C-alpha cells in the first residue's frame, strides 16, 4: 500500500500509524522549511496548489491520496483535484467533494443548507449597512469565510455595528446564543457515516472568546441536552453533505429555549480531534488512512469504541513528566501534548471523573 499525503504540518500525528500498518509513505509539501519532513519515506517539495501533488500521485503510482490540510483556503482546490483524479485515474482521494466544500466553506451558504434540510440554526440576516439591522442585541457579526474566530465580533449596540462596518461592507449578522458550545466529529466514507461522541467546548461569552482559548471536555455533559440529539443531527447533516472524510461540526445549545443550533461545518482535520480520540479511542486522522486502505466500516469503528472522561487545557509550554512514544497517541499515554510551543494544549483522559480530576491536578 502506497499513500500520498499532502501537507506535512499534521503528519507527526499519523506517522506511527502509517509505520505500524507498513504503508509506504510519500508526502508533498510546498514549504521546504516545514516540520516533519524527516518522517515519511519520500518527500517532494512542490509549488503551492494541487498540480504538484497530482503529478506525483500519477508518476509514483500511489494507491490513494490523503490530504492532511488543517486550514480552509486550499480545500476547494483539493476537492477539484479529487474529482479529476478519481474520474481520470481511479485514485481515491480521502477528502470532501466540491459540493460539500462549497456548502461548508461559506457560512451564509451553510446556513441556507441547514434551512433546506430542516436543521435549526440561529436567526440571521445579511447586512449591507448597519441601518438594515432588525435583530435584537446582542448579535454576532461574521464574514462568510474565516476560521479561529477571525473577523467575528459580538455587537451589543449600533455603535459596535458601525465600528464593524468601518472595516467590512457586508456582514452575516446572527442572533447571539447564550449557552454551551459543542463540537462533534463525523466520519464519512462511501455513503457510511458515523457520529463520534460530542465534545463540550465551554459557554458562549459576550466577548466572543473563541473555544480555542477555553477548557474543553469529552464527552459533552450538559444539563437538559441529550447527546443522541447532537449525534442524530450531526449524522443528518453529514448524510446530506454526501461526501467523504472528516466533518467537524459546531453546535450551540441554549438552555433557556431548550434548543440545539447548528453553527458550522469544517470538512478537514480539526482541533476537536484530540479530545475525540481521548474520549472514544477513535482518531479521525488514522481513520482517513483506514478509508484509504478500504478498511473503514461502521462496524469496525463501533467495535473499537472506548469510553473515557477527558479534558483539554491550554498550558502554553509543557514542562511535566515524559510522554511515551508514540507521543501523539493514547496507546501508551493517559495524556498527550500538542500545538506549537507557547500555545500548547494538554489532552488528558481517565476512566472516571475522579481519576481525571486527580490527573489534571498532577499535570497542570
Ligand atoms: N450566534 C452566536 N452566539 C454566540 N456566540 C457565537 C455565535 N456565533 C459565533 N459565536 C462565537 O464565535 C466563535 C466563532 O464562530 P464560528 O462561527 O464558529 O466561526 P469560526 O469559523 O471562526 O470558528 C464561536 O465558537 C463562538 O464562541
Ligand atoms: Mg467555529
Residues 280 and 205 placed together within one structural domain of the fold: yes
Q: What is the pLDDT, as a whole number, of residue 25?
A: 98
- Residue 256 to residues 199, 201, 209, 210: CA-CA distances in angstroms? 20, 18, 21, 22
pLDDT of residue 212: 82
Residues 315 and 286 in one domain: no
Q: Are residues 314 and 282 in the same domain?
A: no
For ligand 1, whether the C-beta of 152 sits within 6 Å is yes
Residue with the three cell numbers 465580533: 153
Helix (H) or strand (E) holding 227: helix 227-241
| Whole-number Å distance between alpha carbons of 249 and 288 | 17
- Pair (299, 312) in one structural domain: no
Ligand 2 centre distance from Cα of residue 174 (Å): 14
Segment 75-100, tens digit of pLDDT: 999 999 999 999 999 999 999 999 99
- Nearest CA owner, ligand 1 atom 11: 208
* Residue closest by Cα to atom 15 of ligand 1: 149
The pTM for the full model equals 0.96
3-state secondary structure of 201: strand
pLDDT band for 301, please (50, 70, 90 cuts).
very high
| 75-89 helix and 51-59 helix, angle to the nearest 10 degrees | 30
Q: How confident is the model at residue 8 (pLDDT cuts 50, 70, 90)?
A: very high
Residue 202 in contact with ligand 1 by CB distance below 6 A: no
19 lines ligand 1 (CB under 6 A): no
Instruction: From residue 81, give the alpha-carbon distance in Å to each of 78, 89, 306.
Output: 5, 11, 35
Q: Is the CB of 176 under 6 A from ligand 1?
A: yes
The domain that holds 248 is classified in CATH as 3.30.470.20
- The mean pLDDT value for 276-293 works out to 98
Ligand 1 atom at minimum distance from 261 CA: 1
Which residue's CA is the nearest one to ligand 1's atom 16? 149
Last residue of a domain, one of 54, 75, 95: 95
pLDDT band for 211, please (50, 70, 90 cuts). confident
Task: Identify whether 26 is part of a domain.
Answer: yes
In this structure, the answer to whether residues 6 and 52 fall within a common structural domain is: yes
Question: Is 142 contained in some domain?
Answer: yes
Kindly report, residue by residue over 105-143, the tens digit of the pLDDT. Answer: 999 999 999 999 999 999 999 999 999 999 999 999 999
Q: Look at residue 99 in the predicted model and tell me its pLDDT.
A: 98
Q: Are residues 235 and 343 in the same domain?
A: no
Domain span at residue 131 reads 123-175
306 pLDDT band, cuts 50/70/90, is: very high
Which segments of 114-236 are extended strands (E)? 124-127, 139-142, 153-155, 171-175, 180-189, 192-195, 199-203, 216-218
pLDDT computed for residue 233 by the predictor: 98
The answer to the question of residue 106 being in a domain is: no
Ligand 1 atom closest to Cα of residue 177: 3
- What are 226-278's pLDDT values in tens digits? 999 999 999 999 999 999 999 999 999 999 999 999 999 999 999 999 999 99
Residue 109: inside a domain, yes or no? no
pLDDT exceeds cutoff 90 at 213: no
Pocket perturbation via mutation, ligand 1, pick of 104, 135, 140 by most ligand atoms within 8 A of CB: 140
Instruction: Answer yes or no: do 131 and 223 share one domain.
Output: no
CA neighbor of 15 nearest in space, from 344, 5, 191: 5
Q: Given this model, what pLDDT does residue 257 score?
A: 97
Give how many domains the chain has, as a whole number. 4
Average pLDDT over residues 287-299: 97
Percentage of the chain beyond pLDDT 90 is 97
Q: How far apart are CA 350 and CA 357, in angstroms?
A: 9
- Do 192 and 281 share a domain, yes or no? yes
- Structural domain includes residue 102: no
Of 252, 282, 304, the residue that ends a domain is 304
Residue 156: predicted pLDDT = 97
Question: In 179-198, which positions are buried (b, 16+ CB within 10 angstroms) versus exposed (e)?
Answer: bbbbbbbbbbbeebbbbbbb
Please indicate whether residue 263, judged by its CB atom, sits closer than 6 Å to ligand 1.
yes
Same domain? For 168 and 190 the reply is no
Task: Give the residue ranges of DSSP H helices in 43-186.
Answer: 51-59, 75-89, 98-104, 107-116, 158-167
Last residue of a domain, one of 304, 333, 352: 304
Q: What is the DSSP string of 42-74?
A: EEEE--SSSHHHHHHHHHTT-SEEEE---SSTT
Looking at the fold, whether 296 and 327 belong to one and the same domain comes out as: no
C-alpha cell read off for 264 = 458550522
Q: Is 281 in the pocket of ligand 1 (CB under 6 A)?
A: no
* Residue 139: per-residue pLDDT: 98
Look up residue 298 and give its DSSP letter. Answer: H
Q: Pick the ligand that lies closest to the CA of residue 263.
A: 1
pLDDT averaged over every residue in the chain: 97
Tell whether 115 is covered by a domain.
Answer: no
Per-residue pLDDT at 243: 96
pLDDT band with cut points at 50, 70 and 90 for residue 224: very high
Average pLDDT over residues 161-178: 98
Whether residues 16 and 61 fall in one domain: yes
For residue 40 and ligand 1, the question of a CB distance below 6 A is answered with no
Predicted confidence band of residue 293 (pLDDT cuts 50, 70, 90): very high
Distance 149 CA to ligand 1 centre (A): 7
Q: Tell me, using a 6 A CB cutoff, whether residue 264 lines ligand 1.
A: yes
Amino acid at each position: 500500500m502506497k499513500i500520498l499525503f499532502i501537507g506535512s504540518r499534521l503528519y507527526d500525528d499519523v506517522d506511527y500509524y502509517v509505520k505500524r500498518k507498513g504503508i509506504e509513505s510519500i508526502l508533498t509539501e510546498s514549504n521546504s522549511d516545514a516540520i516533519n519532513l524527516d518522517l515519511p519515506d519520500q518527500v517532494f517539495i512542490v509549488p503551492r496548489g494541487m498540480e504538484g501533488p497530482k503529478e506525483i500521485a500519477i508518476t509514483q503510482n500511489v494507491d490513494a491520496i490523503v490530504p492532511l490540510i488543517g486550514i480552509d483556503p486550499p480545500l476547494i482546490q483539493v476537492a477539484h483535484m479529487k474529482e479529476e483524479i478519481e474520474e481520470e485515474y481511479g485514485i481515491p482521494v480521502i477528502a470532501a467533494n466540491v459540493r460539500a466544500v462549497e456548502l461548508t466553506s461559506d457560512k451564509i451558504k451553510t446556513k441556507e443548507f441547514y434551512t433546506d434540510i430542516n436543521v435549526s440554526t440561529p436567526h440571521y440576516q445579511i447586512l449591507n449597512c448597519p441601518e438594515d439591522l432588525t435583530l435584537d442585541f446582542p448579535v454576532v457579526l461574521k464574514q462568510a469565510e474565516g476560521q479561529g474566530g477571525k473577523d467575528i465580533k459580538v455587537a451589543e449596540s449600533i455603535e459596535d455595528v458601525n465600528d464593524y462596518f468601518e472595516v467590512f461592507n457586508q456582514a452575516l449578522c446572527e442572533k447571539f446564543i447564550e449557552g454551551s458550545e459543542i463540537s462533534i466529529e463525523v466520519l464519512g466514507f462511501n455513503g457510511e457515516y458515523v457520529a463520534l461522541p460530542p465534545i463540550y467546548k465551554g459557554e458562549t461569552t459576550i466577548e466572543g472568546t473563541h473555544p480555542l482559548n477555553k477548557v474543553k471536555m469529552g464527552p459533552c455533559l450538559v444539563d437538559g441536552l441529550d447527546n443522541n440529539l447532537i449525534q442524530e443531527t450531526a449524522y443528518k447533516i453529514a448524510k446530506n453533505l454526501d461526501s467523504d472524510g472528516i466533518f467537524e461540526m459546531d453546535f450551540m445549545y441554549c438552555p433557556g429555549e431548550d434548543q440545539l443550533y447548528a453553527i458550522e461545518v469544517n470538512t478537514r482535520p480539526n482541533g476537536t480531534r484530540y479530545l475525540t480520540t481521548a474520549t472514544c479511542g477513535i482518531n479521525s486522522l488514522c481513520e482517513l488512512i483506514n478509508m484509504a486502505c478500504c478498511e473503514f466500516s461502521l462496524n469496525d469503528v463501533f467495535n473499537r469504541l472506548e469510553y473515557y472522561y477527558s479534558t483539554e487545557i491550554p498550558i502554553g509550554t509543557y514542562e511535566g513528566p515524559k510522554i511515551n512514544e508514540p507521543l501523539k497517541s493514547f496507546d501508551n499515554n493517559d495524556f498527550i501534548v500538542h500545538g506549537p510551543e507557547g500555545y500548547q494544549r494538554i489532552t488528558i483522559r481517565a476512566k472516571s471523573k475522579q481519576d481525571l480530576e486527580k490527573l489534571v491536578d498532577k499535570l497542570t
